[in-house]
């Protein structure tokens, strides 16, 4: 195997691993492949260049790039004399991790906390209603305790995400560099 083939093979292995790993977190493998391919590029690419590189349709490419932009894994780059939008992978893996997981965790926290707070209000009204059956009353009180504990967890998770976003986490778990 010549040098160019070895280089291509080594990159492809990493791109495949990235795409499979991102798939574990709810991001399609094609979006993961796009990020991996962009990561190894020496400079920014247009949508057309990415489409040619990966053999994806322009619509699929546009959707994938939009997803990566929302996850802050790719950024738009300006280059003098180029009229088309250029995109480049975020090279800082620490920042990519922080952005990716913060976005995912904040979404999950918001959905669960909202549901729990609504349910807590309903359960509290059951407990306060003198006409509530004693069995239902006791179960509602147990559920209130469970949901209160769960909300404490989500408060902790919010603070954890805050520590990632503020980079305070690196005071406790420093980068190696």
pLDDT in tens, 150-167: 999 999 999 999 999 999
For residues 67-81, give the mean pLDDT: 90
Q: Is 72 left (phi over 0), alpha (psi -120 to 50) or beta?
A: left
Which region among 82-86, 98-102, 164-168 has the lowest average model confidence (pLDDT)?
A: 82-86
Q: Is the pLDDT of residue 177 over 80?
A: no
Give the span between the Cα atoms of 159 and 102, in whole angstroms.
11
Q: Which two tokens stand for residue 49?
A: 């260049």
**Higher-confidence position of 18 and 26:** 18
Q: Is the pLDDT of residue 1 over 80?
A: no
pLDDT at 80: 84
Task: Tell me the pLDDT band of 78, cut-offs 50, 70 and 90.
Answer: confident
For residues 69-91, give the mean pLDDT: 89
Q: How far is CA 35 from CA 15, 52, 61, 109, 123, in A?
A: 8, 15, 11, 26, 45
pLDDT at 17: 94
For residues 100-110, give the mean pLDDT: 93
Q: List 45's β-bridge partners, or say none.
A: 87
């Amino acid at each position: 195997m010549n040098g160019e083939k070895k280089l291509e093979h080594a990159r492809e292995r990493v791109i495949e691993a990235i795409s499979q790993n991102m798939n574990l977190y709810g991001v399609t493998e094609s979006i993961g492949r796009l990020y991996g391919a962009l990561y190894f590029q020496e400079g920014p690419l247009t949508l057309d260049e990415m489409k040619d590189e990966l053999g994806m349709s322009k619509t699929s490419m546009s959707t994938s790039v939009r997803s990566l932009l929302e996850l802050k894994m790719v950024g738009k780059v300006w280059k003098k004399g180029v009229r088309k939008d250029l995109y480049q992978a975020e090279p800082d893996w620490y920042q990519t991790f922080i952005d990716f997981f913060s976005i995912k965790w904040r979404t999950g926290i918001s959905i669960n906390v909202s549901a729990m707070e609504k349910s807590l209000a309903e359960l509290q009204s059951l407990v306060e209603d003198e006409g509530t059956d004693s069995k239902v009353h006791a179960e509602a009180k147990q559920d209130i305790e469970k949901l209160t504990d769960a909300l404490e967890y989500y408060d902790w998770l919010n603070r954890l995400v805050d520590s990632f976003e503020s980079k305070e986490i690196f005071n406790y778990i420093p980068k190696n560099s």
